[in-house]
Amino acid sequence: MTELLIKNGFVFDPLNGINGEKMDIAIRDGKIVASVNDSRAKKIDATGLTVMPGAVDIHTHIAGGEVNTGRMIRPEDHVKDVVRKTALTRSGTGYSIPSTFVTGYRYSKMGYTTVMNPSMAPLGAKHTHEELNDIPLLDKATFPLIGDWWFVLEYLQKGDLEGCARHVAWMMETTKGYAIKIVNPGGLESWGFGRNVHSIDDVVPNFGITPREIICGLAKVNTMLNLPHSIHLHTNNLGIPGNYVTTLETMKALESVPTDGKPICHITHLQFSSFAGDNWGNMKSAAEEISKYINNHSHMTFDMGQVIFTDTTTMTADGPFEYTLYQLSGHKWVNSDVETETSGGIIPMRYKRKSAVNATQWSIGLELALLIEDPWKMFMTTDHPNAGPFFAYPKIIAWLTSKKARMATLAKCHKKAQKKSLLPSIKRELSLYELAIVTRAGQARALGLKGKGHLGVGADADVAIYNINPETLDIAVKYKTARKAFDSAAYTIKDGVVVVKDGEVVQNVDGRTMWLDIKTAEQIKVDEEMKRKFKQYWTVEYENYPVFDHYLKVPEAITVKASV
C-alpha cells in the first residue's frame, strides 16, 4: 500500500467545483482517497503551488502509420531537436513529430497524464497500438476512422441504423478503439478516385449517400451504442476559405439528432473550419458567426486547433485537403489511402507571423476560444502537430489567460491580419479555474472518462502541480512566469507515482491503453457476416485483422452496454 499526501496546495478541480481552495489531496494505491495515514504517507509540500488534475488532451496525433510516415520523411525536423539517452530515459528526436519515448516525456513534463490519439486507420490499428505501447507515462486511447468505411456507407445508405451500429461496435472492439472518428465524411471515399465532396449535401460517387446522412447517422449510432464520447468530427471543406458555412450547416444538421442532454458531436480543431471569405486573398475570420451559434446551442463540444508560429507537419486522414495543401505549397506530399476505410496525407508546413493567412488562422483560434463563453464547450489543442507541436501549449495558456501576451504576439503579425483580427476588442482573460476546464476537466467530461480530469475520491491519482501561487502571481500580467511554470511542472503524478519533478522525468511507468468493449445483441451474426464478406473488401484475412489482446501492453477495457 503506497500513500501520498499533497499538502496545502491551491487546488483547482472544476468538476468538483473547487476553485483555488487551500487543501490536501490524499492518494492511496493510485487512486484519490478521502484521507491517508498522516504519519505513514509520503508527503509533497505544495504550499504556494497550484494543484490540478493531470491534464487531458482530447486530440493529438502521436502514434500510428500516418505519424510515423511523417517521422520518416522529415529528418530535417529531427536534426534540430535531439534528446540524449540518460540512465532513466531513452534517446530520441523531437520537434513536430517526436519519437514515441520523447512524446511521453514531453507531455508528462507539462503535467499531462492522458492523451487521445484521434486518427487511426483500422487496417493499421496494430501499428498504432505498438507505438502507443512505446509512449510512456501517459494513459492513452485511439479513435478508429470509420466515417468512410464501406460498411458504414452501405448500412447508412440502406437506412439500417441498427446494422450500422453493430458493425461500428465490431470495429471498435476489433481495433481496440475508443470513439468514432469521422473525417471529411464522403470526401475520403471520393478521394479514392481523386474527387472530393464540397458540401454536406453532395452525393458520394458509387455509394449514393451524402455527408449529412453519414454525420447524423453515426451520431445516432453513437447514442444507440451508449459510447462515452460523442462522434469526433473533422468537418467537410476543412481549411478552405468560406468553409464556416459548411460548419454551421453541419451543426444545424446535428440539431435533428435526439439527445438526453449529452453533447452528440465534438467538432475538432474548429479553427480550421471557421474561415470566411471566398479565396486566400480575402480569407478572414468567421469566429463571430461560429461562436454566436455555439453560445446559443449546447449539443456539441469543440477544440481549438490553435496555430503556433513555427515549422510543423500537417497530417490528417483528409487526403483531398492535404492534396490542396500540396497544390498551394509544392512541398513534399504524402498521400496514403487505405482500402475500404479511409485515406490520409502529410505536408510539412511553416506557419509564419508575416503571412496574412497564417496570422489570421492564429487569431481565429484564440477568438473562438475567447468568444465561446462556456469553457466546458471549447478545449485547448493544437491538433498536434497540424497547427503546431503540443509542447507549445504553455504559449497558448499565456494567450488565453493574458491579453497582454496575445497583443504582444499580434503586434508582430502581418499588418492585414492585425487589422482584421477581433483580438483587440476581446477583453476576456481565462482564470486558472477556467484554464483547468479547457485543459483537463472539460476534456475528460467530453470524453466520458469518469476517473480523469478531477481530484474527487475514487478518481485516478493523476495530478499536476505547478509552480504558481495564485495569491501572489497575476498570470495575466506575469504571463512569462506562468508560461514557464506550465512548461515544466513542479510535479507530475501518474497513478499515485511521482513521475516528473521540476520538469524532469524521475520515474518511468507505462500508461494504460483504454478501449471499448461494446456489448451488442447479435454479435455472432455480425462476426459471421464479416467473415463471409471479408475477402471481397480487404486484402488481408479476417483472422489476421483484429488487434489481439497482446498488442496492448497495459490494456484497460471499458465495458459498454449498447441498446442494440
Counting Cα atoms < 13 Å in the Cβ hemisphere of 194 gives 0
Phi first, then psi, for residue 292 (nearest 5°) are: -60, -45
The span from the CA of 459 to the CA of 53, in Å, is 9
Q: Is the dihedral of CA 16, 20, 25, 31 positive or negative?
A: positive
CB of 385 to another protein, least distance (A): 13
Q: Is 173 in the site for another protein (CB under 8 A)?
A: no
Residue 379 Cα distances to 14, 109, 239, 259, angstroms: 14, 20, 19, 21
- Whole-angstrom Cα distance, residue 37 to residue 19? 26
Taking contact as CB under 8 A, which single stretch among the options 46-54, 80-88, 239-247, 286-294 is the one that binds another protein?
Answer: 80-88
Interface pick for another protein out of 6, 27, 32, 97 (rule CB under 8 A) = 97
Residue 284 belongs to what H/E stretch?
Answer: strand 284-285
5, 27 contact by CB (below 8 A): yes
183 touching another protein, by CB under 8 A: no
**Residue placing its CB nearer to another protein in the complex, 478 or 553:** 553
Q: Rounded CA gap, 113 and 115, in Å?
A: 7
CA quadruple 553, 558, 559, 564: dihedral sign: negative
Residue 477 touches another protein, criterion: CB under 8 A: no
Shortest distance (Å) from residue 303 CB to another protein: 25
Residue with cell 461562436: 291
Q: Which is nearer to another protein, 293 or 333 (CB)?
A: 333
What residues pair up with 19 in beta bridges, in sequence order? 12
Choose one: 22-30, 263-271, 417-425, 530-538; the region binding another protein (CB under 8 A): 530-538
**Closest C-alpha to 184, from 405, 337, 352:** 337
Instruction: Check residue 510 for interaction with another protein (CB under 8 A).
Output: no
Does 275 sit near another protein (CB under 8 A)? no
- 548, burial (CB in 10 Å: exposed 0-12, middle 13-18, buried 19+): exposed
540 part of the interface to another protein, by CB under 8 A = yes
- How far apart CA 117 and CA 66 sit, in angstroms, is 11
- The interface with another protein within residues 387-416 (CB under 8 A) comprises none
Show contacts with another protein in window 347-366 (CB under 8 A). 347
Tell me the closest approach of the beta carbon of residue 329 to another protein, in angstroms. 11
Element containing residue 117 per DSSP (H, E):
strand 112-120
Nearer to another protein, 39 or 193 (CB): 193
Residue 39, Cβ density class (10 Å: 0-12 exposed, 13-18 middle, ≥19 buried): exposed
Q: Which is nearer to another protein, 103 or 246 (CB)?
A: 103
Is residue 88 a contact point for another protein (CB under 8 A)? no
Q: Per CB under 8 A, which region of 29-37, 453-461, 489-497, 534-542 contacts another protein?
A: 534-542
* Nearest CB to another protein, comparing residues 302 and 538: 538
Q: Which residue has the cell 504517507?
A: 41
Contact 303, 379 (CB under 8 A): yes
Binding another protein (rule: CB under 8 A), the pick from 59, 78, 106, 403 is 78
Residue type, 545: Y
For another protein, the closer of residues 2 and 335 by Cβ is 335
* Residue 46, CA distances (Å) to 7, 432, 435 in order: 5, 16, 19
Q: Is 539 in the site for another protein (CB under 8 A)?
A: yes
**Which is closer to another protein, CB of 476 or CB of 509?**
509
314 forms part of the interface with another protein (CB under 8 A): no
Is position 107 an interface residue for another protein (rule: CB under 8 A)?
no
Q: Which of 35, 206, 282, 295 binds another protein (CB under 8 A)?
A: 206
Q: For another protein, which residue of 84, 279, 524, 549 counts as binding (CB under 8 A)?
A: 84
Q: Closest CB to another protein among 24 and 189?
A: 189
Q: Is 238 in the site for another protein (CB under 8 A)?
A: no
331 is an interface residue for another protein by CB under 8 A? yes
Interface contacts to another protein, rule CB under 8 A: 63, 65, 68-69, 71-75, 77-79, 82-85, 90-94, 97-101, 123-124, 126-127, 130-131, 134, 192-194, 206, 323, 326, 331-340, 343, 346-347, 536-544, 548
